[in-house]
Structure 1
Amino acid sequence: MNYAIITGGSKGLGAAIVKQLLQEPIHIFSVARTNNPEMTLFSESTDAIFEDVPFDLSETEKIPEVVQNIFKKINLERAERIFLINNAGVITPIKPIQNADPLEISRNISINLTAPLIFSSCFIKQTEKYKLDKRIINISSGASRSPIYGWSSYGSSKAGVNLFSQTVAIEQKQQPFPVQVCAFAPGIIDTGMQEEIRSTDKTDFTELARFQAYKAEGHLMAANRVAKVISDLLYANDFPNGEVVSIQQYT
């Protein structure tokens, strides 16, 4: 049996990844605040298993308990592959940092950076004694490499995800049964996050018109297309271990 743990698997890119992975025999745990009944129904017509794990990822101190409970349902002795996809993310606050609510800043960093760090830590600890294919994909962003007005929290958190992924890959090379890890920037996808960006006040986000044009001119990528690339990477022989990669490299 193969297993996958994904954060934010109930909507957007996360839901698209889940649906893609469910086409093969696999047991998926989706950690998110909201459930997605469609995924449960879809899994019933396949050889896969889908489980919702209701959880608010901003409550980072509770993540170890969540991971421990998930692994109680995983048979690592018989597993062939196990994946962790740190996908959940929030872009709020979109505004100059001096105008941002401190609680929104804290929540942004908690969900986008602290949660992936702790999930990865717990995942590695739970699997370190087992010789099987273990992979982590941390969802990054092009904003991690290029500053965008009003996105200081989001861009900084994703830059942290990049360096974290590279560092863990170095650490894991010293282990007998290493985990492979990469950061993956999915590009500009037609999801709810883009809707939120397009509804931002232009005084808070000077590049509003550019992002509205992406939608109007059909430049947004379909979530299922990106999900297929991510799914393929999870099984690929040439997994980009220790790298920060982007969708443009695979399309």
Structure 2
Amino acid sequence: MPKNLTILTGASRGMGRAMAEQLLQTDALLLCISRQTNIALAEQAQRAGAALLQWPLDLAEGATASAQLRQWLAQQDPATLASATLINNAGVIPALVPLSDSDPVALAQALRVGLEAPMQLTAAFLGATRSWTVPRKVLNISSGLGRRAMASQAAYCAAKAGMDHFTRCVALDEAQLAHGAKVCSLAPGVIDTDMQVQLRSADATQFPDLGSFAGLHAQGQLSSPEDAARRVLAYLARADFGKDAVGDVRG
């Protein structure tokens, strides 16, 4: 049976982990790239009869990860695959402080993981699979904060805005090819993850939007990681995926 290949970053927790769990079907070949491997995920894959690979890599070193991915993809036989998809999900939020108070190392980390690595991995994926005729997709997990500025979040907002715009550029590139990939930078909604806990725990004097995030949690307006993962994967499976290079699961 041909496998549906999915490469997923940031699969160790939150929505990334939920997506990995939902992708582990019998016809799956799932490659997860995260800081650490997940034993429970490996056990689930074995029960489901799915093929799972886990690479424990730091995406702050995106050049290393992308080189490894390009080499691995060159060794795959596309005749054994039904589809190939890259999901760039990993991201980090640096300290919630104004840019003037930010640590340069933390800024670099946020931009490397949130923007540089997705660009490098996308380049590796598209380059290594250029001759493949199976359907290919790139799904970049963006954020509403890539489209709306927020105080004390310059690095994260910039990374997501950059992700949106490089996706637009890649869509133009791929549209010129006979078997070009479908690409989309998708905002997944507001999700109850460790990132939200970090936002709600910030210093109100440094993070003016603290109240709005606390309110979303108090009013039960946050999606669970599992529900968010289902909505994102349903969007990925749509027949018109890639029609819009930048999208939102909320419409």
Q: Structures share a fold, TM > 0.5? A: yes
The 8 Å contact of residues 111 and 159 in structure 2, kept in 1 or not, is answered as: yes
In the alignment, what sits opposite 1:82?
A: 84
How is 1:208-227 mapped onto 2 (pairs within 5 angstroms)? 208-227=210-229
Quote the Cα distance in structure 2 between the aligned partners of 1:73 and 1:37.
26
Aligned residues: 249
Which contiguous aligned blocks of 4+ residues in structure 1 show a shift greater than 4 angstroms? none
AA aligned to 2:43 is L
Q: Is the 8 A contact 2:74 2:128 kept in 1?
A: no
The answer for the alignment partner of 1:240 in structure 2 is: 242
Q: Greater CA deviation, 75-84 or 184-193?
A: 75-84
Matching residue within 142, 147, 156 for 2:144: 142
Distance 1:219 1:74 in 2: 43
CA apart distance, 1:176: 2.1
State the 1:72 CA deviation. Answer: 5.5
> Of 179, 203, 206, which aligns to 1:204?
206
Q: How does 1:101-250 map to 2 (within 5 A)?
A: 101-249=103-251
Give the equivalent residue in structure 1 for 2:19.
17
Cα 1:136–1:209, aligned 2, differ >3 Å: closer, same or farther? same
Cα distance in 1 for partners of 2:79, 2:207 equals 50
Match of 1:45 in 2: 47
1:32 Cα deviation (Å)?
Answer: 0.5
Larger mean Cα displacement after TM superposition, 69-78 or 189-198: 69-78
Q: Distance in 2 between matches of 1:122 and 1:93?
A: 30
Identity across matched positions, percent? 30
* Whole-Å separation in 2 of the counterparts to 1:69 and 1:171: 22
Q: What is the deviation of 1:63?
A: 2.3
1:72 and 1:48 map into 2 onto residues whose CA distance is 21
Amino acid in the other structure paired with 1:65: A
Cα-Cα RMSD = 1.4
Query: What is the distance in 1 between the residues matched to 2:76 and 2:39?
Result: 22
Structure 1 distance, partners of 2:234, 2:50, is 17
- In structure 2, do the counterparts of structure 1 residues 165 and 242 end up closer, same or farther at CA, with 3 Å as the change threshold? farther
What's the CA shift for 1:42? 1.2
CA distance in 2, matches of 1:73, 1:35: 22
Name the stretch that deviates more: 169-178 or 70-79.
70-79
Structure-1-length-normalised TM-score: 0.95
Per the alignment, residue 33 of structure 2 pairs with 31
Q: CA deviation at 1:156?
A: 0.8
CA contact (8 A) 2:30 2:51 kept: yes
Tell me, in whole angstroms, the C-alpha distance in 2 between the residues paired with 1:24 and 1:208: 43
Contact 1:85 1:139 in 2 (8 A): yes
Read off the aligned partner of 1:96 and give its amino acid letter.
P
Give the deviation of 1:187 after TM superposition: 1.3
1:167 and 1:242 in contact (8 A); partners too: no
TM-score normalised over the length of structure 2: 0.95
Distance 1:200 1:193 in 2: 11
Gap runs ≥5 in structure 2: none
Q: Structure 1 stretch 123-132 or stretch 240-249: which is displaced more?
A: 240-249
Q: Which stretch of the first structure deviates more once superposed, 108-117 or 168-177?
A: 168-177
Counterpart-to-counterpart distance in 2, 1:235 and 1:47:
22
| Structure 1: segments with no counterpart, 5+ residues | none
